[in-house]
Amino acid sequence: MKKDIRFVQGNEAVVEAAMYADLDFFAGYPITPSTEIAELLAYRLPKKGGKFIQMEDELSSMCTIIGASLTGKKVMTATSGPGFSLKQEAIGFAVMTETPCVIVNVQRGGPSTGLPTSGSQGDVMQARWGTHGEHAIIALTASNNQDVFAITVDAFNLSETFRTPVILLLDEVVAHTRERLIMPKPGELNVVKRLRTSVPKGTDYHPYLPREDGRLPMSDFGGVHRYNVTGLAHDMWGFPSNNPKIVYGLMRHLVDKIQGHTKEVTRIKEFFIDDAEYLLISYGSSARTALHVVENRRARGERLGLLELQTLWPFPVDVVQERCASANCVMVVEMNMGQIFYEVKKAVADPQKVFLANQIDGSFITPTDILNILRIIQGKGA
């Protein structure tokens, strides 16, 4: 069969993948550089009977998708830096109420209004800790359109599997780069359906009583089971509770269901890792620059390798530790002041061998930015 090959930008790849993953409902607010996602879905969703709504602000678009998700729909919103800040309280609500949803944050330069049309990876820690309170979260990223497609489908799958908001942490460069996308055929990628309760009408359904495997089958609003959903700490009925025993159980569950499945959630790509003396670790658009450097140096016989992270949170500590063990030097390549760099330092046995090659001025990180640091590490002078 002929391949369906498209020439699209990253934001379009997100839209195609979301439709592939059975997206039903999107709410958003215009913001550069994510707006194309909303524009395309306004056109695409009603064609299949789905719903699109442009809300009055970023906060309400986050809240709206949570409401829609509780009725059994697959939902998504898309935003960028300032909008991501505004959505944080409601993201915490989705964490607490275990409501599946996907939040795309196309990162741009910050803080504040920052650099709306420039790439950045400054929201890595905000994705982890943006909403208040102790919690776990899943955040994914990708560096090219083909991977953006796959990771977007994954975002929906993990969101349904773990009943959690999943943050798709793209950046302006990936979102606006036009390149080839080979459309996966139906059935080629796994699409996880919502797990619904088998508890029949008339029998007590406990919306917040995890099964033995930690999963909580859902019941759609409008269905036969009427229950309470609250952002307050709650018991298995979904009713508010401040009983320390119940709160402890809830907190452990919220964290363990994700942190305890780090291996299952981890997505990485490896390039020339096995014999790498110098191991680069990168993600998102900066991984493209890192890969360019690695391939060029390999052609010259230098042993460079690249570990590309697609799962940023939960941070794949074990994988990073293991892959870094045999490298003489590790260099984290990112467009911030070291948000993943410090995570890598924490993960490895000998943190003094970890270096940072970064770019924070709004321009895209270049091979020279990486090579300059490499020269210093190799003792060749600046």
Instruction: Identify which range of 45-53, 142-150, 244-252, 268-276 contacts other proteins by CB under 8 A.
Output: 45-53
Cβ 75 to other proteins, closest distance in Å? Answer: 8
Task: Select the residue interacting with other proteins from 13, 63, 250, 327 (CB under 8 A).
Answer: 63
Tell me: does residue 55 bind other proteins (CB under 8 A): yes
Which residue, 48 or 346, has its beta carbon nearer to other proteins?
A: 48
Closest by CA to 208, choosing from 236, 240, 233, 229, is 236
| Beta strand pairing call for 329-334 and 354-358 | parallel
Cβ contacts of 279 within 8 Å, gap of 6 or more: 273, 304, 305, 306, 307, 323, 324, 327, 329, 330, 331
Only one of the segments 47-55, 143-151, 246-254, 356-364 lies at the binding site for other proteins (rule: CB under 8 A); that segment is 47-55
Distance CA 67, CA 99 (A): 9
User: Of 319, 359, 334, 351, which is closest to residue 280 (Cα–Cα)?
Assistant: 334
CB of 57 to other proteins, least distance (A): 6
Rg, Å, the chain Cα set: 21
Contact criterion met (CB below 8 Å) for 82 and 52 = no
Question: Per CB under 8 A, does 280 bind other proteins?
Answer: no
Closest separation in Å from C-beta 227 to other proteins: 7
CA atoms of 176 and 11, how far apart (whole Å): 7
Taking the least distance from each CB to other proteins, the nearer of 67 and 82 is 67
Nearer to other proteins, 117 or 228 (CB): 228
Q: Is 46 in the site for other proteins (CB under 8 A)?
A: yes
Q: Is 68 in the site for other proteins (CB under 8 A)?
A: yes
> Which residue number, 201 or 380, has a Cβ lying nearer to other proteins?
201
Other beta carbons within 10 Å of 245 = 9
Cβ-contact 162, 138 below 8 angstroms? yes
- Three-class SS state of 15: helix
Cβ-based nearer residue to other proteins, 3 or 226: 226
Which residues does 132 contact at the CB level (< 8 Å), separation at least 6?
88, 89, 92
In this structure, the strands spanning 178-182 and 5-9 are: antiparallel
**Segment near other proteins (CB under 8 A); pick from 1-9, 70-78, 323-331, 371-379:** 70-78
Provide the token pair at 258: 């994700």
Among positions 221-250, residues that touch other proteins (CB under 8 A) are 221-224, 226-232, 237, 239-240
Of 53, 125, 183, 377, which one interacts with other proteins (CB under 8 A)? 53
Whichever of 93 and 156 has its CB closer to other proteins, that residue is 93
- Give the Å distances, CA to CA, from 140 to 104, 133, 166, 209: 10, 21, 8, 28
For residue 301, the SS3 value is coil
25 binds other proteins (CB under 8 A): yes
How far is it, in rounded angstroms, from Cα 205 to Cα 87? Answer: 31
- Give 241 or 286: the residue with its C-beta nearer to other proteins: 241
Q: Given the rule CB under 8 A, which of 44-52, 251-259, 302-310, 349-357 is the region that contacts other proteins?
A: 44-52
CB of 56 to other proteins, least distance (A): 4
Q: Quick one: 2 or 226, whose CB is closer to other proteins?
A: 226
Which of residues 20, 29, 84, 93 is near other proteins by CB under 8 A? Answer: 93
Q: Which helix or strand (DSSP H or E) is residue 325 part of?
A: none
Binding site for other proteins (CB under 8 A): 24-25, 27, 43, 46-49, 51, 53, 55-57, 59-61, 63-73, 75, 89-90, 93, 221-224, 226-232, 237, 239-240
